[in-house]
Amino acid sequence: MMRNPPTLNPHVDLLERFRACARLHPNRVAHRSADRSLTYAELASGIDATAALIWSQLSPDGSPVVIVGHKEPEMLMGFLGSVQAGHPYIPLDTSLPAKRIEQIIANSGARLVLTPQRVGEAIDRTPRAKRRPEASIDADAAFYIIFTSGSTGTPKGVTITLDNLTGFVDWMRREQDFQPGGETFLNQAPFSFDLSVMDTYSSLTTGGTLVSLTAREIETPRLLFDTLRSSGITTWVSTPSFANWCLAQRDWDARMLPRLRRFLFCGETLPIALAGELLERFPDAAVWNTYGPTEATVATTSIRIRPSMLSHYATLPVGAPRPGTRIVLVDAVGQYLAAEGASGEIIIAGRNVSPGYLNQPDLTSARFFDFEGQRAYRTGDIGHFEDGLLFFDGRVDDQIKLNGYRIELGDVESNIRALPEVREAIVVPVERDGRVESLIGFVATDVLTPGETDFQTSQRLRRALFERVPAYMVPRTLRRVERWPLTPNGKVDRRALARLAP
Ligand code: AMP
């Protein structure tokens, strides 16, 4: 008698779903990155060895474990090894400057920092029998903490629980109907950004293959498109900016990615022109726009973009909230706006909302609250509903997206002001076609280096800034100003400064 192949039970914890994949298909490729490839069995064994290492180093107090690396498979071992040992993890990419990494470690209270090398050594040293056996964590326990830009110049850590993440992964799996064992996911975003959570856990809990792009591949078009050509990916997960950049490659189309079934975008506005071009180049792939902040577990709304939408709307919708999640709009004084078309701040309420910022109760209570019995988050995003769909209309504050990266202008300004000779700094976004293209900084400095041109001063200050903030936060130029343009009530006139930008 023919027996049905064993299937995964989706109603168990995420770690157990991963382990089930490893038991059912130990030889299936779980992760590929650069020239390395790792099976489910190898990944599971590495996770056990990492859990054993963490167990031997830390008391079970739930303190976070920082994992600093790039796209190495040991990063995944570090993530799930931490959780298996009862500790949430903080993923940090090596592209971050050392100062920023130190700052995050200090503020997080982490007592253990792992690197791919350390994880690799643990695997070599730990005999199979000593590897940490299965353990499980509570649904309300922190699973990961992702740090994002903070307006005061210090990154803030968003805590995401096992329950937050499980709800997200379940929604994605159901909505996208991922085929167990049949998907190959593109992992473009660094693990330190929560967009990577979409591909990583969708893949590892459904027996998929995760194909990570390294920074070197992304910077080298020949390598990048060679990797894509041989990737076999079925699910593309990236920022719209990255896909937009790929468009320059003429043969980036269905012939290069014949198995591609869907694009999943999140993190910034999906331009109509990009969606249109993708629908033409990849006629068999669906294009999805999803929206949401890190604080509400990767994405909260979604919509499949149909060709008819491209000419129907001025901007593309970000969709409808996932089941069980509510979106309400409020005006400047917090009044609930019910009317279709009314524009207001987007509030997200539901199971996907984080408990708050790590070790920052004041910031947490400023942005998180209880809304009709559900945890809610004030996003700072402005939106409106049309045809029952949510549209993103901008921000209430100085947070921007540059090439998909979330940046608080205040973060950049505080770090410029921290440079020894800078008295004041204001950073403004340079926009084209409604999209931020670059940043420009205006600075008042005390000390002038004799004989130095403005360009040299700018380059010198930029070099110093690269040591404090990620490269994408460093303004293209830092211009010296003698006198600030002021608004009638005496504040620095940011709009006047923006007009000075080239
Ligand atoms: P992050 O926490 O890095 O994911 O950034 C979240 C912010 O990115 C949101 O609060 C929005 O401002 C913006 N964002 C996310 N998804 C979209 C989208 N689909 N369209 C427009 N903006 C988006």
Topology of the domain comprising 403-498: GMP Synthetase; Chain A, domain 3 (3.30.300)
Q: Tell me, rounded to whole angstroms, the distance of Cα 414 from its chain centroid.
A: 23
- How does pLDDT run across 190-229, given as a tens digit for each residue? 999 999 999 999 999 999 999 999 999 999 999 999 999 9
Alpha carbon nearest to ligand 1 atom 7, residue? 293
**DSSP letter string over 250-308?**
TT-STTTSTT--EEEE-SS---HHHHHHHHHH-TTSEEEEEE--GGGSS-SEEEEEPHH
- Ligand 1 atom closest to the Cα of residue 346 is 10
How high is the mean pLDDT of the chain?
A: 93
Helices of type H across 154-239: 162-176, 195-204, 215-219, 221-229
**Pocket of ligand 1 contains residue 268 by CB under 6 Å:** yes
**Residue 188 scores a pLDDT above 80:** yes
The confidence band for 6, taking pLDDT boundaries of 50, 70 and 90, is very low
**Residue 1 scores a pLDDT above 70:** no
**Pocket of ligand 1 contains residue 349 by CB under 6 Å:** no
Q: Which of 114, 118, 98, 101 has the alpha carbon at shortest distance from 66? A: 114
- How does pLDDT run across 424-450, given as a tens digit for each residue? 999 999 998 889 999 999 999 876 677
**Residue 8 scores a pLDDT above 70:** no
**Pocket of ligand 1 contains residue 269 by CB under 6 Å:** yes
Give me the CATH code for the 14-238 domain, please. Answer: 3.40.50.12780
The rounded Å distance from CA 25 to ligand 1 centre is: 36
- Ligand 1 atom closest to the Cα of residue 318 is 19
The confidence band for 138, taking pLDDT boundaries of 50, 70 and 90, is confident
- How does pLDDT run across 399-433, given as a tens digit for each residue? 999 999 999 999 999 999 999 999 999 999 999 88
The rounded Å distance from CA 295 to ligand 1 centre is: 11
- Ligand 1 atom closest to the Cα of residue 265 is 19
Alpha carbon nearest to ligand 1 atom 23, residue? 268
The rounded Å distance from CA 75 to ligand 1 centre is: 25
Farthest CA pair distance, the chain: 88
Compute the average pLDDT of residues 372-384: 97
**Residue 105 scores a pLDDT above 70:** yes
**By three-state DSSP, how is residue 439 classified?**
strand
- The confidence score (pLDDT) of residue 132 equals 63
Is 194 exposed, middle or buried (CB count within 10 Å of its CB: 0-12, 13-18, 19+)? buried
- The confidence score (pLDDT) of residue 67 equals 98
Alpha carbon nearest to ligand 1 atom 1, residue? 293
* 288 Cβ contact partners less than 8 Å away, ≥ 6 residues apart: 176, 262, 263, 264, 265, 302, 303, 304, 305
Helices of type H across 342-422: 361-367, 409-417
**Pocket of ligand 1 contains residue 345 by CB under 6 Å:** no
- The tokens for 441 are 């900084």
- The confidence score (pLDDT) of residue 292 equals 98
Q: Which of 22, 97, 109, 28 has the alpha carbon at shortest distance from 63? A: 109
User: How far is Cα 82 from Cα 65, in angstroms, rounded to an integer?
Assistant: 7
Alpha carbon nearest to ligand 1 atom 5, residue? 293
Contact 146, 194 (CB under 8 A): yes
- The confidence score (pLDDT) of residue 12 equals 61
Compute the average pLDDT of residues 289-314: 98
Is 443 exposed, middle or buried (CB count within 10 Å of its CB: 0-12, 13-18, 19+)? buried
Domain ranges of the chain: 14-238, 324-394, 403-498
* 25 Cβ contact partners less than 8 Å away, ≥ 6 residues apart: 40, 181, 207
How many beta carbons lie within 10 A of that of residue 21, not counting itself? Answer: 24
Contact 285, 263 (CB under 8 A): yes
**Pocket of ligand 1 contains residue 70 by CB under 6 Å:** no
**Pocket of ligand 1 contains residue 155 by CB under 6 Å:** no
Token pair 């903030």 in the structure block, residue: 469
- How does pLDDT run across 10-33, given as a tens digit for each residue? 556 899 999 999 999 999 999 999
**Pocket of ligand 1 contains residue 291 by CB under 6 Å:** yes
**Pocket of ligand 1 contains residue 299 by CB under 6 Å:** no
- The tokens for 391 are 């549209």
Topology of the domain comprising 324-394: Luciferase; domain 3 (2.30.38)
- The confidence score (pLDDT) of residue 126 equals 79
Compute the average pLDDT of residues 324-352: 91
The rounded Å distance from CA 319 to ligand 1 centre is: 13
User: How far is Cα 246 from Cα 218, in angstroms, rounded to an integer?
Assistant: 10
How many beta carbons lie within 10 A of that of residue 425, not counting itself? Answer: 23
The rounded Å distance from CA 353 to ligand 1 centre is: 15
- How does pLDDT run across 84-93, given as a tens digit for each residue? 999 999 999 9
